[in-house]
Chains A and B, each alone.
Chain A
Amino acid sequence: MIPTAFEYLAPTTLDEALSALSTHEDAKILAGGHSLIPTMKLRLASPRYLIDISRISDLAYIRESGGQISIGAAATHYMVESSGLLKQKCPLLPETAAYIGDVQVRNKGTIGGSLAHADPAADWPAAVLAAGAEIRVRSSQGERTVKAEDFFVDMMTTALRPNEILTEIRIPVPPPRTGSAYEKVKQPASGFAIVGVAVQITLDANRSCQQVQIGITGLASKAFRATGVENELKGKVVNDQVLAQAAQKAAEGVEPLSDIHASAEYRAHLARVHTRRALQRAVSRI
């Protein structure tokens, strides 16, 4: 099917885009379009206005300043995947980007768009949770920052208000002796994550866990931090056994989804297995 009729707007500044968003009630932001256009083609979504932000300068960038890396919301998955700066300082993100969709999707889809869409099986939410990211959001009234843990509210629902645009993702540069990994169980046809686990772990000189952040996607109606696992690890000297035991708590505190691809029990099992693998891989990289 083709989408229902819509008006197309292509603002050249962020203020124009924000004003268009406030003026038109049934409007959606268009970035890479790889989450929105498929739903429009199925006529599951029929926004009357599409506000294309691809012509706005300085929304797609990756730069470092003051111990933080800032990623513009319109940065494509490919930009993140191939960024030398990220590969060196925060390799979790380029690693995760490589698992998203396919080459064509990665060349058009954007990190901001994916986060705003908040598909329960998307990869970025898990990675930004594990990286301890902050999400910058702007409206015509001003800007605000939302912590990643507070950003994902429910299935396809974020803390973004109807008149706001996601502008930037900020990540603290991980300290030395930090390892990270992303484990994904791909649904073979769609490529979505049946379960995806992102881990960022910092050890001190005695190999005891100083800091750990685990983001899990695909398991529940939204991506979440596996705090059960994190609490089991903090302060403990880390070895394969400790990691395996902590990983058993991966599905704690959430209700796993059940669908034709995987039952709730199987999903929970996958989460436990792949949390263990992600932890072990992350630690081996330290």
Chain B
Amino acid sequence: MKIEGSHTLKGKPEKVWNTLTNPDVLAKCIPGCEKLEKTGEDTYSATLNMGIGSVKGTYTGQVKLTDKQPYSSYKMLVEGKGKPGFVKGEGVLNLQEQDGNTLVTYQGDAQVGGTIASVGQRMVQGTAKMIIGQFFTALDMLMEQQSGASTGASPGAPPPKSFFFKVALRYFWNQIKQALGVKN
């Protein structure tokens, strides 16, 4: 399954790059991320609890960042396995300066297998889009909160539940606004 899209993040590419490669940030922004632990150079083990509607599941897996070209691009490899199925994907993120902000474009390929893929195949792409959307919404909110200083949280500490709730609220409110044609 091909995944591609783009999102504009506030801030210059240097700041956005540092944010996107910071494991504390990733732990807070990857939807349902309960744990993100460093296991090696740019390699992390992750526990994600995610789903849509009533279909929820816990996935354990690995996130690896490679081909890092500072401030312009990197490749992310993700692998996750859980009761509802498994996911294996890789994607390239490109950062480009645009009017003082950063345009992040991503292209990737994901393989989904197990029950969710066989029975829920028609929903896989929509769900992937939603999860990526929530990730960028969380990133927007986090960058708004931070003033560039470090978060101070210890690596691997689970992010506060209230943050996810706020992210979900903001994400779905944006969806509603978009549907009603309200400009941001």
Contact = CB atoms under 8 A, between A and B. Distances in A.
Interface of A: 28, 36, 39, 42-47, 117-118, 120-121, 149-150, 153-157, 192, 220-221, 224, 227, 253, 255, 257-261
Report whether over half of chain A's contact residues are helix, strand or loop; otherwise say mixed: loop
A259 B175 contact: no
Given A43-B115, A157-B172, A261-B122, A255 B54 contact: no
B52 A156 contact: yes
Contact of B53 (A117, A224, A258): A117
Q: Bin chain B's interface residue count.
A: 20 to 34
B129 A255 contact: yes
B122 A45 contact: no
Given A120-B123, A157-B172, A224 B54 contact: no
Contacts of A253: 181
A44 B126 CA distance: 17
Contacts of B126: 120, 155, 220-221, 257
Contacts of B155: none
A224 B180 CA distance: 10
Report whether over half of chain B's contact residues are helix, strand or loop; otherwise say mixed: helix
A118 B129 CA distance: 17
Interface of B: 52-57, 83-84, 115-116, 119-127, 129-130, 172, 175-176, 179-181
Nearest to A218: B122
A272 B136 CA distance: 32
Contacts of B125: 257-259
B50 to A, nearest CB: 13
B120 to A, nearest CB: 7
A45 B120 CA distance: 12
